[in-house]
């Protein structure tokens, strides 16, 4: 049995940032990662059923949202209103066949599109209570200090943006983006995402409101 199975996060001396997490560090956290496909999402599992239905009611009558959807299948149509410009960002990271030096696409447009699309969606609501923000937040998973050492043990995870409560700034959802399909980066991407969530739990215990069938132990 690997020695990391008998170690606690506080006793582990090999912590690295979430983006560089090792298998040993992941195992030390004793955290199960269970990725789900987009089509398995059920808003009721997260207590979001009512909000989801209300969002649909707003979007179905939004001409701007319809223009964005239509622009995906018809190049002649241009998105309008709060969705203007989103299609060009989407095209940038979809054109990965153009992998020359000056046309190469990294995760920047993916990140920008994700946050801007969230902002556009939320602005359809006449009275939004949350806002998507581009500014990254550094979260620290602090596991405590070992006798004889001067620094606490733990690691840092940085978001690619997040959804935050407008009035309190409390984080409601995290954003982690990659330039390519996640299947090309597994299991590293799953360990990084898990580390980001663990850091969020450690720094902001109790803020993880929408988590089905989960138990967070701080």
Provide the 8-state DSSP code for 5: G
Chain segment 110-158, per-residue pLDDT in tens: 999 999 999 999 988 888 899 999 999 999 999 999 888 888 999 999 9
The pairs formed by 2-9 with CB atoms below 8 angstroms and a separation of 24 or more are 2/27, 4/28, 8/143, 9/141, 9/143, 9/153, 9/154
Q: Is the pLDDT of residue 218 over 50?
A: no
Cβ 48 vs Cβ 210: under 8 Å: yes
Confidence of residue 201 (pLDDT cuts 50, 70, 90): very high
Rounded to 5°, angle at Cα 208 from 33 and 185: 30
Please tell me the predicted confidence (pLDDT) of residue 11.
85
- CA distance linking residue 92 with residue 165, whole number of Å: 30
Q: Quote the pTM value.
A: 0.85
Q: Pick the more confident residue, 157 or 178.
A: 157
H or E stretch covering 122: helix 108-124
Q: Is the pLDDT of residue 102 over 60?
A: yes
Chain segment 81-98, per-residue pLDDT in tens: 999 989 888 888 877 655
- CA distance linking residue 60 with residue 38, whole number of Å: 21
Can you read off the two tokens belonging to residue 172?
């409601």
Please tell me the predicted confidence (pLDDT) of residue 2.
54
Residues in the chain: 218
């Amino acid at each position: 049995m690997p020695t990391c199975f008998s170690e606690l996060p506080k006793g582990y001396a090999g912590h690295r940032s979430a983006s560089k997490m090792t298998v040993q560090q992941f195992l030390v956290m004793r955290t199960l990662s269970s990725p789900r496909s987009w089509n398995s999402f059920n808003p009721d599992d997260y207590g979001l059923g009512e909000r989801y239905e209300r969002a649909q009611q707003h979007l179905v009558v939004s001409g701007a949202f319809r223009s964005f959807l239509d622009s995906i299948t018809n190049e002649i149509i241009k998105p309008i209103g709060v969705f203007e410009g989103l299609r060009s960002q989407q095209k940038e990271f979809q054109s990965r066949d153009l992998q020359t030096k000056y046309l190469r696409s990294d995760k920047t447009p993916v990140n920008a599109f994700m946050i801007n699309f969230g902002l556009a969606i939320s602005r359809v609501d006449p009275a939004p209570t949350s806002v998507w923000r581009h500014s990254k937040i550094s979260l620290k998973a602090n596991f405590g200090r070992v006798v004889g050492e001067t620094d606490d043990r733990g690691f840092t995870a940085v978001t690619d943006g997040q959804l935050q409560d407008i009035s309190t700034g409390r984080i409601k959802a995290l954003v982690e983006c990659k330039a390519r399909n996640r299947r090309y980066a597994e299991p590293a991407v799953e360990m990084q995402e898990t580390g980001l969530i663990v850091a969020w739990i450690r720094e902001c215990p109790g803020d993880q409101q929408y988590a089905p069938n989960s138990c967070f132990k701080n």
